[in-house]
Chains A and B, each alone.
Chain A
Amino acid sequence: MASTRRVAEAPPGSIAFNLNGVAVAAPIEGEAPLLAALRGPLGLSGTRFGCGAEQCGACLVLVDDQPSYACTLPVGSVAGRRVTTVEGLGSAAAPHPVQRALLDMQAGQCGYCLSGIQIRAVALLRETPRPDEAAVRAALDPHLCRCGSHNRIVAAILQAAAEMAP
C-alpha cells in the first residue's frame, strides 16, 4: 500500500474512494479499470483477473454494497464511493463467516475463483439472509469454477447463512 494516501480530496491525477473502510487515492487515470487500480497502485491482489469481459466473476467487488465487475468498471466511476474487496471481508485472525465456512468445508481446489464468489455470497446473504440451495446456485451462476468445487462452495455458503441468520 506504499502509494496509497489517506486523504479525503484526491490529489490531481488520482481517484479518491473508500476501500475496505479506508480512504484511498489511486494515482491512475479515471478510465482505467478499477481492477488495475486495485492490483496496481493500491497493492491489493485478492481481486482476480479472469477474463476482462464480465464473463467469469473472478474480479467481483462491492461498490456501495452492489456487486460490480472490477475488470470493466472505470475507476473514475467509483470516486467518492465505497469499494469492498475480498481483503475487506475478513482475515485469518477474524474471518468472515463465509470465509470460515469455505475453509471448514475445504471448498476450493485452486482457489482462484473464490474471491469473486465470496463477494457474491456476501451480497446474496445481505439481500436474502436464508437462501435455499437453488437460490445460492442461481446467484453463483455468473461465476466460473473450473476445478469442480461447486457443490462444496454452495454447501459452505448455506452453512455461513445458517451461522449469520440462525
Chain B
Amino acid sequence: MNLAFHGPMADGRPKLPGSLHVNRRLDQWLLLLPGGQVVVTPGKVELGQGILTALAQIAAEELDVALPRIRMQAASTPGSPDEAVTSGSLSVQESGMAIRHACAEARGIFVGVIAQRSGVSRDDIVVRDGEFLAPDGRVLGSYWSLAGADLLAVEATPGVTPKPAAERRIAGTSAPRLDLPEKVFGAPRFIQDLRLPGMWHARVVRPVARGARLAALRDGPLPGGATLHRDGSFLAVLAPQEHHAEAAALRVASRAEWHATDTLPEDAAVEAWLEQAPGEHSVVLDRAAETPPATHRVAARLFRPFITHGSIGTCCALAQWDAGMMRIWTHSQGITNLCADLVKAMGLPAEVFHIQHVEGAGCYGHNGADDVALEAALLARAHPGRPVRVLWTRAEELGWGPASPAMLVRVEAEADAEGGLLRWSQQVTSNGHSGRPGRGKLPTLLAASMLAEPFAVPNAINPPLAGGGGAQRNAIPGYRVPAMNIGMTHLSDMPIRSSALRGLGALANVWAIESVMDELAEAAGADPLAYRLRHLDDARARDVLTRAAEMAGWEGRAKREGFGYGLAVARYKGSGAWCAAVAEIEAAERVFCRRLWLASDVGEVINPDGTLNQIEGGAIQATSMCLMEAVRHDARTITSDSWEAYPVLRFSEVPRIQAAIIPRPEAPPLGAGECSMGPVIGAIANAIADALSVRVRHWPFTPENLSKSLEN
C-alpha cells in the first residue's frame, strides 16, 4: 500500500509487486465473467489523469484479451484492494504492477487448467482474446467458460513472469481514454451528477474567520422548506431543491454572529512569519567533504506563498444513514484513509461505513474532497434514511480547502575558480505538505474542529524522504556536489490548513536549485546547458536535458529584445521520472511564457498519449502557478475565494508546448503526473533572468515581485 508514505514493505512475506504485496488474493483484483468480460477492481481512482485506461491496458495485455472486454470498476470500501491514496505519480507502479502480475498469474492458472483437461502441453497453448487455442487451432476453452470455477480465489505467488516488453501489444499504445466520451457528451458521470431518490441538497455556512465560534443565530424563515443543522459551529442547511439550499445558506449566514479573532499572519507578512514561526528543524542530508577554497559563492533566498488546487468543479459528497449503515459517495483520493478519519470524527465503528468512489473534477492533490464527505455524513446521520448531497461553493473551494503551504528556500552554493561545484546548502521552511486523513490520532477533516465537541486540528506532516518527502521533496540537488547540507524546518503553527498539492515541495525546491545553477554557470562564464551537463553523472538526466535543448534549438537561440530562454532539469522526488524543460518567455506588461519544450523519461510508458497529456498539463498548471498564483488573506480569513481574486492562466496566455518522451520500454514505470512541474518553473525563472537580468526570488513572478527581487 502507498509506498509514497510507508516506504518499501519488509514484513517477512515474499515480495510481490506494487500493491499486490498487501492485497494478495487474485480475486481482489480481477473477476472473469461468463459473458466475456473482465472486471478489474483497482484501489486507485480516476482523477482525470487517465489511470483507469492505463490499468485496463495492462490487464488486457497480460490476459491476452481485447481491451473492450475490460471493465474498470471504481474503488469502494469494503470491496476494493486497499491502495491507500491515489497520489505521488505512483499509480502505475503500485496498482499497475499489481494488476500486471495478478493478470499474468491468472492467465497461467487458466492455461494450466486447460492443459490438464485437454492434454495439450501448456507451453503449446496460445491465448487469443480470451480463448485458449491448441497448436492445430482447436479452441480448448476460454476464460469465460471457466469463469464459474473460482480459480482466482488464491493468493498471488512470487516468480510469475509477465510478458517481456517486446511482446506487448496493448500496454505501450495510445488507447483512447475510457471515461472521456461520457465527459464530452455530458452524460452523468461526475459525482456532482449523482442523484438519489428523495435526496436533499445541503450547503454549509462557513464562519467569517478561521477558528471562529458561532456565538448566536437569529431565527427566521427559510425558503423552500429548508432545514437548519447546527452542531457547535458546524452550520448547514438542507432542502429538497438545490437552489433553495443555496438561498437558505445565504440567509442563515446573514443571521449568524461569530466570535472571531485574528489567527493568520497578514498577507504581506507571510515571508516574515515563515522566518519567525516556531518549528522543528531536521537534517535531510548531511555529507561532509574536504573541499578547496571557493571562488564563487551564490546565496539565494526564495519565497513561495500559499497556493491552492483550484478544481474547476467544486467538492461534493453524498451520504445516506440507513439501517445502521453509512453509505458515502465521494471523490476522495483515498477512501480507506477517509474511512479511518470518519470513524474518529463521528465515533462510529468502521464496519458501518460503505464508501464508494465516484469521479470528480481534477483535484491535483488533497483538496476538500475528504472534508465534504464528513459534512455529508454528519448531515445524513441527522436525517436517517434521507440521502444528502453536499456541494461546496466556489468560495469554499478556493477558501476552505487545504492550501499548499508557503515556503522559504535558502540556498548557499560554492564553486571553485573553474566553476566546479564544491558545497551546497539548502534549507527549506514551511508547514507540512500532507494533512491527508487517516494517518494520525486526530481527524484532519475540516468540520471535525467545528463540532460541539471539537477535535484539535492536527498539524500537517512531511512524509519521510524515502516515501517522497513533503517540504523536502527534491531539496537534494541531482548534481555532483562533494559537500551537501540539506535541512528542513517544519513549522508547528498552522494558521492555514495545509496539505498536498501536485508536486508538493518539489516546485519550490527545483525552482531554487535550478536558479542557483544558472547563477553559478554565469559566474563561471559557462552556458547553463554545458554547466549542468558537467555536473550531471546521471545518464538519464543528461539524456532528457540534451533532448530538450535540441528540441528548443538551445545552442542556436537568438537574443531578442523582450524575450528570454531558460532551462531546467530534475528527477521528480529523486526517484521518479526525469524531465527537462526549456522555456521561452516574453517580458511585456507582465511575463508570459510563450513556448515550452519538454523531454521526459518516465521509464516504461503504458499510454504514450496519456503520458504526454499529463506532462503537458502539469507544465501548463506549473506555468499558471508560478506566474500568477498566490492565496490572498487578511488576518482572519482567505480573501482569494473567487476566480477574480485567484486568477489562473487563460487560453490566450498558455504556452505552446512541444513534448517528447524518451522510450525506455524495458525500464520500470515511474509515473508521469508531476515530473514536468518543477523543471518548467525553474526554466521560466531562468528565462526571466535571461530577458531582464533579474533573479526572481518571489513567487508569483509578477511585475511587482520582479521589482522586489531587483531591490533585494
Q: B residues within 8 A CB of A44?
A: 186
Most chain A beta carbons < 10 A, residue from B185, B621, B643, B654: B185
- B657 → A minimal CB distance (Å): 6
Q: Which of A9-17, A89-97, A158-166 contacts B (4 or more CB under 8 A)?
A: A89-97
Q: Which of A53, A85, A147 contacts B642 (CB under 8 A)? A: A53
- B132 → A minimal CB distance (Å): 33
- A93 → B minimal CB distance (Å): 10
| CB under 8 Å from chain B, chain A span 10-41 | 28-29, 32-33, 36, 39-40
Q: B residues within 8 A CB of A138?
A: 651-652
CB pair A148–B312 under 8 Å, yes or no, is no
CB pair B312–A144 under 8 Å, yes or no, is yes
Question: What string of 1s and 0s marks CB contacts (under 8 Å) between A43-62 and chain B?
Answer: 11111111111011010000
| Cα separation A28 to B183 with both chains bound (whole Å) | 27
| CB under 8 Å from chain A, chain B span 187-204 | 187-188, 190, 192-193, 195
- B89 → A minimal CB distance (Å): 14
CB pair B243–A32 under 8 Å, yes or no, is yes
| Cα separation A47 to B186 with both chains bound (whole Å) | 7
Q: Which of A92, A103, A110, A150 contacts B48 (CB under 8 A)? A: A110
Main secondary structure of the interface of B (DSSP, over half): loop
Main secondary structure of the interface of A (DSSP, over half): loop
The answer to whether B467 has its CB under 8 Å from any CB of chain A is no
- A48 → B minimal CB distance (Å): 6
| Cα separation A141 to B181 with both chains bound (whole Å) | 24
CB pair A147–B621 under 8 Å, yes or no, is yes
Given the interface contacts A45-B193, A148-B621, does A110 sit within 8 Å of B654 by beta carbon? no
Q: Which of B4-12, B337-345, B612-620, B687-695 contacts A (4 or more CB under 8 A)?
A: B612-620
| Cα separation A51 to B646 with both chains bound (whole Å) | 12
CB pair A114–B613 under 8 Å, yes or no, is no
| Cα separation A111 to B242 with both chains bound (whole Å) | 23
| Cα separation A138 to B651 with both chains bound (whole Å) | 7
CB pair A145–B312 under 8 Å, yes or no, is yes
What is the chain A residue whose CB lies nearest that of B656?
A: A151
CB pair A45–B186 under 8 Å, yes or no, is yes
The answer to whether B73 has its CB under 8 Å from any CB of chain A is no
The answer to whether B313 has its CB under 8 Å from any CB of chain A is yes
CB pair B642–A141 under 8 Å, yes or no, is no
The answer to whether A80 has its CB under 8 Å from any CB of chain B is no
The answer to whether A5 has its CB under 8 Å from any CB of chain B is no
- B632 → A minimal CB distance (Å): 16
Q: A residues within 8 A CB of B620?
A: 148, 150-151
- Interface residues of A, CB < 8 Å — how many? 59
- B88 → A minimal CB distance (Å): 18
The answer to whether A106 has its CB under 8 Å from any CB of chain B is yes
Most chain B beta carbons < 10 A, residue from A33, A44, A53, A108: A108
| Cα separation A30 to B180 with both chains bound (whole Å) | 34
What is the chain A residue whose CB lies nearest that of B53?
A: A106
CB pair B617–A114 under 8 Å, yes or no, is no
Question: What string of 1s and 0s marks CB contacts (under 8 Å) between A105-118 and chain B?
Answer: 01011111111001
Q: B residues within 8 A CB of A91?
A: 185
Q: A residues within 8 A CB of B188?
A: 45
Q: Which of B49, B187, B360, B656 contacts A46 (CB under 8 A)? A: B187
CB pair B313–A58 under 8 Å, yes or no, is yes
The answer to whether A154 has its CB under 8 Å from any CB of chain B is yes
| Cα separation A166 to B610 with both chains bound (whole Å) | 29
CB pair B652–A147 under 8 Å, yes or no, is no
The answer to whether B525 has its CB under 8 Å from any CB of chain A is no
| Cα separation A141 to B617 with both chains bound (whole Å) | 17
The answer to whether B391 has its CB under 8 Å from any CB of chain A is yes
Q: A residues within 8 A CB of B614?
A: 109
The answer to whether B394 has its CB under 8 Å from any CB of chain A is yes
The answer to whether A102 has its CB under 8 Å from any CB of chain B is yes
- A21 → B minimal CB distance (Å): 15
- A22 → B minimal CB distance (Å): 15
CB pair A110–B243 under 8 Å, yes or no, is no
Q: B residues within 8 A CB of A134?
A: 652
CB pair B47–A55 under 8 Å, yes or no, is no
Question: What string of 1s and 0s marks CB contacts (under 8 Å) between A129-150 and chain B?
Answer: 0000010111011011111111
What is the chain A residue whose CB lies nearest that of B615?
A: A148
What is the chain B residue whose CB lies nearest that of A109?
A: B48
CB pair B243–A146 under 8 Å, yes or no, is no
CB pair B656–A112 under 8 Å, yes or no, is no
The answer to whether A82 has its CB under 8 Å from any CB of chain B is no
Given the interface contacts A106-B613, A146-B311, does A141 sit within 8 Å of B192 by beta carbon? no
The answer to whether B650 has its CB under 8 Å from any CB of chain A is yes
CB pair A36–B621 under 8 Å, yes or no, is no
Given the interface contacts A46-B187, A109-B362, does A39 sit within 8 Å of B394 by beta carbon? no
- B162 → A minimal CB distance (Å): 26
The answer to whether B115 has its CB under 8 Å from any CB of chain A is no
CB pair B613–A144 under 8 Å, yes or no, is no
Q: B residues within 8 A CB of A99?
A: 184-185
CB pair A143–B651 under 8 Å, yes or no, is yes
Q: A residues within 8 A CB of B50?
A: 109
- A42 → B minimal CB distance (Å): 12
The answer to whether A83 has its CB under 8 Å from any CB of chain B is no
CB pair B183–A92 under 8 Å, yes or no, is no
What is the chain A residue whose CB lies nearest that of B186?
A: A46
Knowing that A56-B312, A114-B183, A141-B652 are A-B contacts, what are 14 other residue pairs whose CB atoms are under 8 Å apart, sorted by A's residue number? Answer: A28-B241, A45-B190, A46-B186, A50-B394, A51-B642, A58-B313, A102-B184, A111-B180, A113-B312, A138-B651, A148-B618, A149-B613, A149-B616, A151-B657
Binding site for A on B (CB under 8 A): 47-50, 174, 176-177, 179-181, 183-188, 190, 192-193, 195, 241-243, 310-314, 360-362, 364, 391, 393-394, 609-610, 613-614, 616-621, 642-644, 648-652, 654, 656-657
Binding site for B on A (CB under 8 A): 28-29, 32-33, 36, 39-40, 43-53, 55-56, 58, 85-87, 90-92, 95, 99, 102-103, 106, 108-115, 118, 134, 136-138, 140-141, 143-154
Closest 10 CB pairs of A and B: A46-B186, A110-B48, A111-B183, A148-B620, A148-B617, A110-B362, A86-B186, A112-B361, A45-B193, A36-B243
What are 23 sample pairs from A and B whose C-beta atoms fall under 8 A apart? A36-B241, A36-B242, A40-B242, A43-B195, A45-B192, A45-B193, A49-B313, A51-B643, A56-B643, A95-B185, A102-B184, A103-B176, A106-B613, A108-B184, A109-B49, A114-B184, A134-B652, A137-B651, A137-B654, A138-B651, A141-B651, A148-B621, A152-B616
